[in-house]
Each structure stands twice: as C-alpha cells, then as structure tokens.
Structure 1
Amino acid sequence: MDFSIQKIVENSEYQLIPLQQGDFESLYAVASDPEIWKQHPNKDRYQRGVFENFFKGALESSGAFKIIDKITGEVLGSTRFYDFNEKKNSIFIGYTFYGTKFWGKGVNPKIKKLMLDYIFQFVDTVHFHIGKENIRSQIAMERLGGQKIAEEEVAYFGEPAKTNFVYEIKKENWI
C-alpha cells in the first residue's frame, strides 16, 4: 500500500478530500463563525484575511483535507496530517475544525477514527497539538485515548507562537 498523507480517505459517512485552491469559499463559509475559534489559540481566524493565511498554510502543508458529509454533500470543516517524522515513525493530526452545527453529534470521533485507522497502516505514533485553552478539544482527545505528553510553543504559518499541549496515541493502544 502506498503511503500518502493526502489521498482521499473515506468511510460510509464521510470523505476527506485533499484541499485545493478552489475550496476556499466553501471552507471559509464554515470557518467564518467566531464561535468555532473562541477556545482556539488563534481566536481571530474567523476573519477573512486571517483565514486566507490559514488556508494558504493548509495548501502548502500538502496534508490538508476538506471534510464532506457523503449523504448531504455538506462541507463540515477541515483537518490535516502534518510533520511526518520518518525516523520516529510518527505524524501529527491537527488543525481540525468543524462548523458549530456539527458539534456534539459524534462527528469528530468518527473523523479521527477514520484518520487513525488509515495512518496507523504506516506509522506507529500519532501526535496532536491542542491549544492550552481549548478545553473542548482536550476532552475530545482524552475520550479518544490520547495521552498528554508535553507542552510546547507552536508557531503557525504567519501567526505568533501559542502554547499547545502535545497528545499522543500509539498504534498498539488503538483499537
């Protein structure tokens, strides 16, 4: 099987499609809600100019996806694989956001399961950066079995560094 951090990954409900330039407007329509970013380290990402920078970084990462509901065709949000480390046989999953209408409906654990099931064919460890103030995402990560292993400053593409926790899930612990 060919290892790629940006191929279509899907199950019966959702499809992760590699992000393309033409996806900006549909993704920004979701991301323009300030509520999404309230607990996030970069709270102004709902602003068009700030999101344009985020989107540019997502495209340049070559690991970003738009998340589609296969039944309705709706864009739910975005996520990505990044920072593959061949020596440590690890990768990060992150930069995930969903429209608020999809919160509390079990979407995030299903998307993370889809991504983890795929990527654990190729790596032994997956890490996640979670903003220090993002309690909602920390709880979601712990529900998935993630273990907090570190705290570090993370600078995103053209944005100032912010404190993030690093969570880890090992292949041997994934069900």
Structure 2
Amino acid sequence: MAFDRQPHLISDLVELRPATAEDFDALFAVAGDPLIWEVHPAHDRWQESVFRRFFADGLASGGMLVAIDRESGAVIGSSRYDFGRAEPDEVEIGWTFLARSHWGGRYNGEMKRLMLDHAFTGVSRVMFMIGETNIRSRRAIEKVGGKLTDRRHHAEMAGQPVVHVIYTIDRSGSAG
C-alpha cells in the first residue's frame, strides 16, 4: 500500500485536510505575519511573492495539508509530508507554520500527533529538518518527542549558507 501524503485527519482540536489552490488566500492571511518567520531561515516568507512560491511548491509536493481550528473553523496554518530528503522507511514532516494566535498551546502538538500517527501506518521513522538557529521550532519538536540526531543538511537561502539539524521520532518512540 502506498503512503497517503494527503490524508484527512481530525481531532477534537484541529483538522488537517489536503491543500488546494483555493487555499492560498486563507493561508496567506496567516503567513503574511512577519513575526511567524522571524527566526526561520526563510524569514521573508511573509512577503506575498515569496509565500506564493512556497505555496506552489507545497501543492506540487503532493503532501501539503491545511490546518483548521475545529472550534472556529478558521484556517490556522499548514504542514507537509515529503520523501525528498528522507531515508528508507522514513518520511519528513515539515514546512509547518501556525498562526501566532495558536502558539504556545496544544495546536502544534496536536497537529504533529495526528501527522505522526498517520505516518507510522506507513513508515517506521519520521524526520524533521529545522534551521539550526530556529530555537522556537527546535523546542516545539522536542516537546513532541523529537530527538536530535547527528545528521545535518546544508543549503543556501537568499545567497546565505544555512545549516539544518535533523530530529527524528521512531514508531517505537525511541531516537532514530
């Protein structure tokens, strides 16, 4: 059975559903907040032209999900499954952003729990690639059980070198 990178996942708190082209305006309304991106390596993603490329890449990936607050029905962010940098029997969860109104609570953890539970129906390990200096995202992954590995990914963003660290969570809950 092939892994479904665009499932429809629901909990009491949040709903994750496949992204469509019609989601651009609602997602940009969230992503247009510069403070969401201030510690992210792509700190200019709040700009419409930059976000438009991010969004198009997400749709093209075949793994982009839209996050919806179940109580209000509002779009609050997105995340994605991808195999591009993953090792065998592994999937990456990433490209996640969340409205600041939903920071510091249960939303990110619940999104990750839903995505992890689904991922473990098809793979044994999930990886998360996070900018080395993005302490906010690193702490959030640690809160859901991510273990820092010795794997690194070197890239260039806006002409600057960027190092990403890799966290993993195994189906068994142990470090990868």
TM-score normalised by the chain length of structure 2? 0.90
Structure 1 residue runs without a partner (length 5+) = none
User: Is the partner of 1:142 in helix, strand or coil?
Assistant: helix
Counterparts of 1:35-50 in structure 2, within 5 Å, are 35-50=35-50
Q: 1:30 to 1:7 in 2, by over 3 A?
A: same
- Superimposed CA distance per residue, residues 35-74 of structure 1 (whole angstroms, 9 cap, x where no aligned partner): 0000100000000000000001000010001100122101
- 1:104 corresponds in structure 2 to 104
Count of residue pairs the alignment pairs up: 173
Give the direction of change, closer, same or farther, for the CA distance of 1:59–1:155 in structure 2 (3 Å limit). Answer: farther
Q: Which residue is 1:7 aligned to?
A: 7
In the alignment, what sits opposite 1:55? 55
Q: Are 2:13 and 2:107, in contact at CA under 8 Å, matched by a contact in 1?
A: no
Dislocated runs of 4+, deviation >2 Å:
84-87, 158-162
CA contact (8 A) 2:86 2:92 kept: no
The 3-state SS of whatever aligns with 1:169 is: strand
Q: CA deviation at 1:160?
A: 6.8
Equivalent-residue separation in structure 2 for 1:86 and 1:76 (angstroms): 26
Is 2:14–2:107's contact at 8 Å kept on the other side of the alignment?
Answer: no
Look up the SS of the partner of 2:83 in the other structure. Answer: strand
Measured in 1, the distance between the counterparts of 2:61 and 2:103 equals 26
> What is the CA RMSD across the aligned residues, in angstroms?
2.1
User: Post-superposition shift, 1:161?
Assistant: 5.9
Aligned CA distance change for structure 1 residues 140 and 121 (closer, same or farther; 3 Å): same
Q: Aligned pair 1:151/2:152, yes or no?
A: yes
1:59-101 CA-partner distances (Å, limit 9, x unpaired): 0010001100122101110100001689721100000000111
Say which is worse superposed, 87-96 or 126-135, in terms of deviation.
87-96
Q: Deviations over 1:86-141 (max 9, x none)?
A: 97211000000001111111211111011111111111000001111110111111
On the 8 A contact 1:84/1:90 being kept in 2, the answer is no
Distance change >3 Å, CA 154–CA 106, structure 1 → 2: farther
State the TM-score, normalizing by the size of structure 1: 0.91
1:162 deviation in Å?
2.5
CA contact (8 A) 2:153 2:165 kept: yes
Q: Which residue of 2 aligns with 1:163?
A: 163
Unaligned runs of 5+ in 2: none
The 3-state SS of whatever aligns with 2:122 is coil
Identity %: 36
Aligned position for 1:66: 66
Q: Does structure 2 conserve the Cα–Cα contact (< 8 Å) formed by 1:6 and 1:62?
A: yes
